[in-house]
Chain A
Amino acid sequence: MALQFNENLCLTCPTVDCLEKCQYLAFGPGEAAQEMRKLIQGEDCRLLTECRTCYACEEYCRRGNHPFYLISERREEKGIYTAPRPITRQWYNMTAMQGKPLIGAVGERALSLCFIPLLGELGRGKLFEEVEAASVFGPEFMCPAVHSHFAKMSVIKERLPQVIANFVKLGVKEVICLHDECYGTFTSIAPAYGIEVPFTPVYYMDYLLTRLDELKDAIRPLGIKVAYQRPCSNRLIPQKHRLVREILDRIGAVLMERTYQDEQALCCGEIIRTIAGWRLADDIQGRNLEDMVQSGAEYCVFNCPACQTTLSAKVRAKGLKPVHLIDLCKMALGEKTKED
């Protein structure tokens, strides 16, 4: 199972956007192209030790190649760790399949809660009433994408086929992914490795839009100003980024313009803290949060439970209210109050 990386596509790229746009590495004239050449050829290069695993180059590459996956492959080939080795081991151990998943009344559709308990709470209520009972939870259904942060593509290659097989065994035709990383795993990582996904992954924001349209008479526009925290995994599915605005428009929330948005978005910084230390992580988080404050937002809207867990306290300390996008929709439907 090899990464389907088109070397020629990369070597003939005139802009090397993947690296030139990188928020963490700066290159001299011609250096970015050289780095990519060295990476492709398996030589030592800066990328192997300095890449911060923010995933952004997967979006910056306009040619459909996978620069970040290649960096991770090369790291693993060379035995280079990003996070400390014991932390890498922890992630491997704690996401190991135990044979005790929680499986609801799954028919042709499953609602994937991955292995994130917070998704269980989010995936409830009117918006999900048709699929809530069909939820699945456990490492057996967990997208293994996180191991790319730790340069362990082998873990992804080992586990992703098993995860897909577990879904197939349930007989599902559609899997609603409540997490970008799940959707990104099935639609970006799997094809990058030639792994077939014999069901249709449904991105939860697409599902939300459909439901919001069905429930439009019940929506009371929120009339609030929000900043959006774009997660790293959304970079794997950049075509879906526009859905955030559409949802916010539906529910009457104003997305405030700010510096670190869209392609310039900053990740939550917690994996970077593990990989590169507190200074860089604090710097990223500091700039990000200050930017939110300066934008005039009242709320910080999250798309990813991990970002939310990481940043909620800091967001609150800055005077903003942390909320997940799904909960914001529930507020618009009157299922949750602002106090909740």
Chain B
Amino acid sequence: MEHIYRSLVAIVGERGVSNRPEELWYYSRDPGVLEPHRPDFVVTPKTTEQVRDIVLLARKEKIPLVPMGNGMALTGLVIPLKGGIVLDMKRMNRILEVNEMGRYAVVEGGTSQGMLKAYLKDHHPRLRHSLPDAPPTTTIAANVSLHGQGRLTQQYGFNSDMVTGLEVVLPTGEVCLIGSPSLGPYWFSKGPTLPDLSGLFLGWLGTTGIITKVGLKLYPNKKFRDVELFVTDRVELVPSILYKLTHLEMLEDINVWFQPRPLLFKDNYHITLYFTGDTVEEVEFKRHMVWDALQEFMESKDGGFMALDYLKDTLLEMPQRGVAAFADVPRGGGFEYSGPITLIEHYPAYAAKVVELAHKYDVLYASSARLISGGHSMMFSISFAFNRADPAMMGRVKAALDEATAFALDMGGIPWKPNHFEQRLTLERLNPNTRELMRRIKMCLDPDGIMNPGNWEVNEYETSA
């Protein structure tokens, strides 16, 4: 291993490599509930060339490679299941370009959500990007590669749908440009109207290559942003409410959430809807349209809008700091969630499942769903908080989440950023030809099996006849 260490030092310098116990311990785990696995090295590359050289070294030495952003996916996707080299991408954090007219940005593979937000606010205040509620230290590349979502997902789709091009280091060492950048200097398309090769990297959880640059769509940043909060106690009405709201085609984001505490929220389902405008008139018009759309529920007294004087500032925060603060509810610094993608009509069934699991496993729950692309689907998050000093509680949370994923699959949903157990469950149920296609792609791109092994292990399944 010493020669590998020397080789890594030659690539990234002394300060860019560590095989010391402290870094190995820290980077062997994430803040979720899964077991740690120790890497052999951790590196912090600064350039694409360094990443390429690391990949070539890993290929030569047959060492696993695990790329990492900030590790806040919480489902163990940055845990080196088979050891090897963890690449902490966060030193590659430059914002390379913002094309104002084309409304896209090009950032490096470790650029954080927060820094892009601040940069746009300072230099391009008419533009914004789809910011998730994850901590602002999370990276854009990791978020898109996991099909993450953000504030603009209800309008424009998954954050991965907003990719406008990629630079990827393949597991075989080639640096590859994907989309319009493969033909010229502009980053306006991740594929169309060429064959969309971005699909070879998005959603693969780091098993088909390392993203070193991302092009990302930016959207108009309006002067005003406001929020309303609709409350109902009849979960079966939620799909209809959402259908009416999405029919308006006017809303930025729609979240549906419920939690037992604080008491203010007990026994109700809350629908936060965000809307923007460049004038007060525009915002007020949208507000009135929203109210009128839900008039029937108010007349039947089944739902109403909550006065938001004290909550508004918190709801309008981007990212919402309270999302991370949920982790401290049991005074234990942790939470993890399963966030399957499903139809909005399944909301009541999922909501019932959350409560059932919380009671069964004696864990604290919260749930927050986000609509995707005007309600074509939604991400339903089943979230459980745990006390990190209580391993038994962590075990129960893991069991509850496993059961949640199994339930989602039974309902015909798709798991989001599944951990390696959930990936196996998914692969087992996958259409065999689809699974075979995945296997061929993986074999082709990563013949040596060095990229984040233990994840999407399609090779474990027999090929179809």
A residues at B contact (CB < 8 Å): 81, 83-87, 89-90, 93-94, 96, 98, 270, 273-274, 277-278, 309-310, 317
Contact = CB atoms under 8 A, between A and B. Distances in A.
Contact of A89 (B268, B297, B305, B307): B268
Contacts, number: 63
A10 B231 CA distance: 39
A84 B291 contact: no
A93 B264 contact: yes
A81 B307 contact: no
A88 B305 CA distance: 11
A335 B298 CA distance: 46
B263 A84 contact: no
A89 B267 CA distance: 8
| Most interface-central of B232, B233, B264, B304 (chain A CB within 10 A) | B304
Contact of A310 (B232, B265, B266, B309): B309
B301 interface: yes
Contacts of B268: 86, 89-90
B288 interface: yes
Contacts of B90: none
A317 to B, nearest CB: 8
Given A89-B233, A90-B268, A93-B267, A277 B303 contact: no
Interface class of chain B by DSSP: mixed
A94 B261 CA distance: 10
Given A85-B233, A87-B304, A309 B309 contact: yes
Range, interface on chain B: 20 to 34
Nearest to A80: B301
Contact of A85 (B263, B269, B287, B301): B301
Given A274-B307, A278-B291, A87 B263 contact: no
B302 interface: yes
A72 to B, nearest CB: 16
Contacts of A89: 233, 266-268
Given A84-B232, A87-B305, A277-B298, 19 more contacts: A81-B301, A83-B301, A84-B298, A84-B303, A85-B301, A86-B232, A86-B268, A86-B269, A87-B304, A90-B306, A93-B265, A94-B264, A96-B263, A273-B305, A273-B307, A277-B291, A278-B287, A278-B288, A278-B291
B287 A274 contact: no
Nearest to A312: B309
Nearest to B233: A86
Nearest to B287: A278
Contacts of B288: 278
Interface string B296-336: 01100111111101100000000000000000000000000
A87 B306 contact: yes
Contacts of B269: 86
Nearest to A310: B309
A277 B295 contact: yes
13 contacts: A81-B301, A84-B231, A84-B298, A86-B268, A87-B306, A89-B267, A93-B265, A93-B267, A94-B262, A270-B307, A273-B307, A274-B305, A309-B310
A86 B262 CA distance: 15
Interface in B259-297: 262-269, 280, 287-288, 291, 295, 297
A81 B307 CA distance: 17
Contacts of B264: 90, 93-94
Nearest to B309: A309
